[in-house]
Chain A
Amino acid sequence: MSAPGSGFVQRLTALVRKEMRQMVRDRSNLLVGFLLPLALILLFGYGLSFDVRNAPVAVVIDTPSVAAREVVSGLEGSRYLAPRRVTSMAEAEHLLGDGRVDAIVHLPVDFARRYAAGSGRVQVVLNGIDSVTASTLEAYLSGSISKTLEHRGDRGEGALSGAGQVEIVQRVWFNETSNSTWYLVPGLVVLIMTLVGAFLTSLLVAREWERGTLESLFVTPVRPLEIVLAKLAPYILVGLVDLAMCLVAARVLFDVPIRGSLLAVLVSSTMYLIVSLLLGLWISGATRNQFAASQVALLTSFMPAMMLSGFVFDLRNVPIGVEIAAQIVPATHFMTLIKTLFLAGTDWAMVARSCAILGGYALLLTFLTRRTVRKRLD
């Protein structure tokens, strides 16, 4: 016998080769490994958008007037709105109820008169079922209407405004056109790394337990750590290919800038990939049951990465309990980092902090997973 520890590389290579073959043999692995990212890239890049464009709006004018006509032409000038005149409020409410328009702008009978007196009222009715669209629309409508009336005021045709006015000059940094694709696509990298990890590895150990092949591994000289590393290796390759697909798509298809250091993007993404693969392996080893493993993998990957990580919903608004839960999810830390790296630039302190957290998770999960494949039957 040679000294303990020797033969590590040899055994590891043999195991990796076995896992590689096993991965390639079942086409469904590779199919999902490559097709899923592709589908998600296309969906996120082209399918999903929070941006309201050409929203249908019903306009009801009770008494025609010059001011009312200018309000309508102001609305028509906005590329976010597609106004259409309807004759009565009843008709407009019918359209709103059917979902054929998103909002109603109602200029009441006394609009022109009261407006000339300095207290014009415009009624806006929104469909609150989609509150995000509704709020955005409200902002566009009020912006468009007040702009029109301000211009009239400037020409001395509207209410007289003797006092000076505060005017907002707005600039949105990192995403000058407020295009939601720009913040969805960096988040996509996180989502894909999470899914690849959870889906591809979460059955690996459980399957071997169910089939009893893990027990046959016990009689060989391989050690638990070697089993873990060997199961990890082939899927890191798959994940790296997916990462490359995401980066190329972001840059080439969607023109999302990568303003930070590419090295930092690659290093942190690889670390996150390892964490999420290990998470899948740990679930697999801890449940020892394919059914439970797949349910747990589904529960811990997709929805938390989408809902809790700050991907779509801003974590600034959540209560402390949810904030803690979000901080436990590794995706949250990677999400903050990758958005900054894509859109803002390299903040080395943030890179170091996030990588340290991810590294900590990787070590912890390696340790936990190693315990689940100990050579013991219970």
Chain B
Amino acid sequence: MEALSALIFPILTLIRKELLAIFKDPANRIVLFAPAFVQTLLFGYAASFDLTNVPYAVLDQSHSAASSELLARLDGTGVFRREATLANAHQIALVIDEQRALMVIAIPADFAESLAAGRRAPVQLILDGRNSTTAGSASGYVASVVVAFNAARGGGAGLELVRRAWFNPNLESRWQIVPAMVATLSMLQTLLLAALSVAREREQGTFDQLLVTPLTPLQILVGKAVPSIVVGMLQSTIVLLISLFWFDIPMSGSVWLLYLGLLGFTGASVGIGMSLSSVALNMQQAMLYTFLIIMPLTLLSGLITPVRNMPEVLQVATYANPLRFGVDLVRRVYLEGAGITDIYHDFIPMFVIAALTLPLAAWLFRHRLA
């Protein structure tokens, strides 16, 4: 018992000292917690692939009841906003180039006659491909309007597509992005925090003093890692609360499992941060190394583009990325309500990363002296 407390007590002292060092500066308190709020709100609104307000222009050369009805249906979706009514085909380039309209619908002069004669009546749809994702979803909306229009005219392929989307019934992209930010936003700052923790002491010369204290490298490591993990978990909590109570995204899974997952994930991130910290000779280097790896970690996480769309080599590389599994874990527990048996395999890479990086950092403490 005595031996155990002799082991634990110095660690607690170090943790206390580290927490004081982080939080004594009011600027730090703001910089570590306020951004989580602001970013979640901003990105929660901005990060959407859903179209709500698509400006479009019409070139209606048919001027018929049928063409008006088609356009009325389009306006009735609430997704499209008619920005301009064009008089001739030359104006198409103008409204698209200036980005006044995302798309132009051109209805030819013989539109009504073709329909009345039972022929196919082509309608031209011109889209601005500068953002191909937006263009794709806009064209999808138009297609569904046209299908409904055809069906209402008693035609159509005689087919109805009944859609059911699991876990996200209205296919809102916010549901996909905001829960993933519970892991992402905290990782960015936690990794940097961990990376600077040793580098700062190295630069100020106090790390040597720490090394000559009776603390073992392992104790120093734990003492340095725990405060970063605490900060990371607090940030995750802020994002989680906003997701639950501001954006009203319902949580299906267990909070405990989510936090267990976040703990594993934050541990792995801090492990990477501590390793960087012990390699860096000063804060500038620690920061640059952190930034160098944060980009690939974020981009290869599946946060924005699906992992499955990546080339095989990169898909394999993502196994070294705790964020990939953090994002997957949070999304599945949060949205799917996945249990431990569904997602235990997400824990394995995170534990492996933590188990490799943390001891490496402890070893580097002693063996990398400038």
A interface list, Cβ under 8 A from B: 26, 28-29, 31-32, 35-36, 39-40, 43-44, 46-53, 96, 115, 117-136, 138-139, 141-143, 145-146, 149-150, 153, 158-159, 161-176, 178-180, 182-183, 195, 199-200, 202-203, 207, 287, 289-292, 294-299, 302-303, 306-308, 310, 312-319, 321-322, 325-326, 336, 339-340, 343-345, 347, 350
Contacts and interface: CB of A to CB of B under 8 A. Distances in A.
17 contacts: A39-B296, A48-B310, A120-B158, A134-B171, A138-B163, A138-B171, A163-B150, A164-B120, A164-B121, A170-B139, A195-B295, A290-B200, A294-B287, A295-B31, A299-B35, A299-B189, A322-B45
Contact of B133 (A36, A50, A115, A290): A50
A46 B164 CA distance: 32
B155 to A, nearest CB: 4
Contacts of A26: 284-285
Contacts of A170: 124-127, 139
B189 A298 contact: yes
Given A131-B173, A165-B155, A172-B127, A121 B122 contact: no
Closest 3 CB pairs of A and B: A128-B168, A175-B129, A159-B158
A299 B98 CA distance: 32
A129 B129 contact: no
A44 B52 CA distance: 28
Given A294-B287, A326-B46, A149 B159 contact: yes
Contacts of B139: 139, 168, 170, 172
B169 interface: yes
A203 B287 contact: yes
Contact of A317 (B51, B130, B287): B51
B309 interface: yes
Interface in B3-33: 25, 27-28, 31-32
B246 interface: no
Contact of B285 (A28, A126, A179): A28
Contacts of B46: 307-308, 313, 315, 318, 322, 326
Interface string B32-72: 10010001001101111111111100000000000000100
B214 interface: no
Contacts of B133: 50, 132, 180, 183, 312, 314
A120 B159 contact: yes
Contacts of B1: none
B157 interface: yes
B163 A317 contact: no
Contacts of A203: 283-284, 287
A119 B305 contact: no
Contacts of B165: 125-128, 131, 134
A183 B131 contact: yes
Contacts of B144: 142
A40 B140 contact: no
Nearest to B105: A168
Contacts of B86: none
Interface string B112-142: 0011111111111111111111111101101
Given A47-B299, A135-B140, A161-B155, 17 more contacts: A127-B165, A135-B137, A136-B136, A138-B163, A150-B157, A161-B154, A169-B123, A175-B132, A176-B129, A183-B129, A183-B130, A183-B133, A203-B283, A291-B283, A303-B39, A314-B131, A339-B131
Nearest to A141: B161
Interface of B: 25, 27-28, 31-32, 35, 39, 42-43, 45-55, 70, 96-99, 102, 114-137, 139-140, 142-144, 146-147, 149-150, 153-169, 171-173, 175-176, 185, 188-189, 192-193, 196, 200, 280, 283-285, 287-292, 294-296, 298-300, 304-306, 309-311, 314, 331-332, 335-336
Given A124-B164, A167-B120, A298 B291 contact: yes
Nearest to B49: A132
A237 B252 CA distance: 52
A347 B38 CA distance: 35
Nearest to B107: A166
A149 B139 CA distance: 20
Given A149-B157, A164-B119, A296-B31, A47 B283 contact: no
Given A129-B331, A291-B200, A295-B189, A173 B129 contact: yes
B118 A163 contact: yes
A47 B47 contact: no
Contact of B130 (A48, A50, A158, A344): A344
Contacts of A317: 48, 50-53
A53 to B, nearest CB: 7
Contacts of B25: 289, 292
Contacts of A347: 97-98
Nearest to A336: B99
Contacts of B284: 26, 28-29, 203, 207, 290
Most buried by A among B144, B167, B314: B167
Contact of A168 (B102, B142, B169): B142
Given A166-B149, A203-B283, A115 B130 contact: no
A131 B306 CA distance: 10
Contacts of B135: 172, 175, 178
Contacts of B153: 163-164
A122 B161 contact: yes
Contacts of B32: 295
Given A119-B160, A139-B136, A36 B121 contact: no
B128 A307 contact: no
Contacts of A340: 97, 99, 130
B97 A169 contact: no
B28 A292 contact: yes
